[in-house]
Structure 1
Amino acid sequence: MKQDYLQKPFELVLKEPMNVCPRGEHSVSFFELVYIVCGKGTQDINGNQFSYREGNLFLLAPEDSHSFTFETETQLFFIRFNKVFFHSHQITTTFLQRLEQTFSTHTFQGAIIKDEQEERIIKNLMESLLMEMNHENFYANEVIQLLVQSILTIVARNIMHETFVSIDEKTDNKAANIIQYVHGNIYDPEKLTAENISIIFGISKTYVGRYFKNQTDKTLHEYIAQYKMGLIENRLKYSDMRINEIANEFGFTDKSHLNRFFKKLKGISPSAFRNK
């Protein structure tokens, strides 16, 4: 299977309307938003079939494979961005970290936007983006960056909505709020202690771990460690960050501390994992 690679932090690609998809199944090594400008048909993502129509938006993550079957003439617009984009100095680090967390941990593969009002907003943003691409106005690059940032933010909001709807079906509101709190503070270990969480959510320190496990089938410590591990794995696979930089970002005392944490959960060192 062919794999596509991205040579810059992000790129925008508008395809000409087509009656037959020129490419077969292929995988991507970056994040890719696929917007359906017009047409209808089926998209195969990792072996699962999803119908598409005009206005649908799909998110592909690194290593996802996909292909299209067109039923009517279809035009596709791609927004592609890699891990370097999330470390851009042009956008606030905290904002990008939150986006990266959301995109890296999303699990559903169908059309992202379910709400009609949100879909209209996305359509307006996409049309504005295409207009800026076609006209070299003053500050065009800055406007394009802001439009892409707005689109990514709405995508992240909808992913989070779907995630917490799913969580709420299995857990009570307090457990869902704890999960959201963990996601928002994963880079700050001091905020994720059982003592701090028990104070914030009004649960006894001695009971908070048991309460969380009753709701999620994982202890609070296990959930935090596994969620953090997923983000660290993404750093190792898709970024050029040094091990000590990753350790610093996630609040480890030093590189050795990260090595011990990683080896305990994965059985190998971060360097060995990166070189696999």
Structure 2
Amino acid sequence: MEIKNLYQPFELEYLELTSYTAREHKNTFFEMVFILDGKGIQSINSHKLPYSANKLFLIFPQDTHGFEIHSPTRFFVIRFNESYLKSLSKEWIQKLEFLFHSHNHLPGCILNNISDKPLVRAMAEALIREQEDPGPQNEEVIKQLINTIITLAARNLSMDTQASLKGPATNDPIPLLTYIHQHIYLPEQLRAAKMAAHFNISASYISEYFKSKTGESLQQYISEYRLKLIETRLRFTDMQINDIVFEFGFTDASHLNRAFKKHKGLNPSEYKKRNHYKV
């Protein structure tokens, strides 16, 4: 299978394609694809769903994906890699993490709020114009537009999951998962008693329920999710170990080292040395 790389912080591409079936491939970067016009099939990780105009798709590194084009299609693609992530603030990195780690990696548009579709379309069309006819401060304008699209995408995921948080946890594990994702930087909020109080259920039942629905213990899932985010920090940013310790609420660097080495077989410094992406 083809693997595609990106050798600059971000890249924009406008494509007009007719009947053509793209081979499935994997990226080493993030990708957002907006459909301006056309119809066909999007596939991610062997799942397929029709696409049409005004759909926005998220593609995570190492997802297997492709498009089958059934009628002439205009695609607008935003690609960005680790060096783009490094240029963002901590707040933006956390926004990206929520955006991508809460995404289910299934096909389908993530714009559930219909009124946001014309906004994203306007941003995409503005980016196309800015790319074709650069004006003053061109790169800064492009970055702001990209960040606006990311914000709109994050808002849609947040709105969708906030609605599910209002439902009873006993019907679906998704509200619990969403709560964990949103509070992963606040260890006190992830105690079983605190979560049980939030969902108005028994503290002794919440762990049992979570395991029955996910196959993992509640604390195991929280730990694995936190360590996955730390992997992202080590690979894609220049954050120091002590900064990561503080951000994720570890007692000290030794506490982080023990947990991470149990998870990956390497301490954080060794993992970063071997896996940190270089531009």
TM-score (norm 2): 0.78
CA contact (8 A) 1:164 1:176 kept: no
**CA offsets 1:41-70 (integer angstroms, 9 cap, x no match):** 112211111211111111000101112211
Q: Which moved more, 1:217-226 or 1:112-121?
A: 217-226
Partner of 2:99: 102
User: For the residues of structure 1 that align with 2:93 and 2:267, how far apart are their CA atoms?
Assistant: 27
Partner of 2:71: 72
Q: Which amino acid aligns with 1:213?
A: S
**CA offsets 1:197-220 (integer angstroms, 9 cap, x no match):** 47995989xx64x35325533665
| SS class of match (1:71) | strand
Partner of 2:129: 131
Partner of 1:8: 8
Offset, 1:71: 0.8
Distance change >3 Å, CA 96–CA 272, structure 1 → 2: closer
Query: Which of these residues, 90, 98, 107, is aligned with residue 93 of structure 1?
Result: 90
User: For the residues of structure 1 that align with 2:29 and 2:168, how far apart are their CA atoms?
Assistant: 31
Offset, 1:82: 2.1
Q: Which moved more, 1:141-150 or 1:241-250?
A: 241-250
Q: Map 1:57-206; keep pairs closer than 5 Å.
A: 57-89=56-88, 92-109=89-106, 110-165=108-163, 171=169, 182-189=180-187, 192=190, 197=194, 201=198
| SS class of match (1:40) | strand
> What is the CA RMSD across the aligned residues, in angstroms?
3.4
Offset, 1:87: 2.8
User: For the residues of structure 2 that align with 1:33 and 1:223, how far apart are their CA atoms?
Assistant: 28
Distance change >3 Å, CA 182–CA 198, structure 1 → 2: closer
| SS class of match (2:224) | helix
Distance change >3 Å, CA 203–CA 7, structure 1 → 2: same
Where does structure 1 lack aligned partners over 5 or more consecutive residues?
none
Partner of 2:231: 233
Where does structure 2 lack aligned partners over 5 or more consecutive residues?
none
| SS class of match (2:115) | helix
Distance change >3 Å, CA 41–CA 167, structure 1 → 2: same
Identity, in percent, stands at 36
Offset, 1:80: 0.9
CA contact (8 A) 1:41 1:52 kept: yes
- Is residue 2:48 matched to residue 1:49? yes
Offset, 1:183: 3.3
User: For the residues of structure 1 that align with 2:175 and 2:46, how far apart are their CA atoms?
Assistant: 33
User: For the residues of structure 2 that align with 1:100 and 1:198, how far apart are their CA atoms?
Assistant: 21
Q: Which amino acid aligns with 2:45?
A: N
**CA offsets 1:86-130 (integer angstroms, 9 cap, x no match):** 3315xx422331222331332142111133212122112212222
User: For the residues of structure 2 that align with 1:213 and 1:168, how far apart are their CA atoms?
Assistant: 19
TM-score (norm 1): 0.79
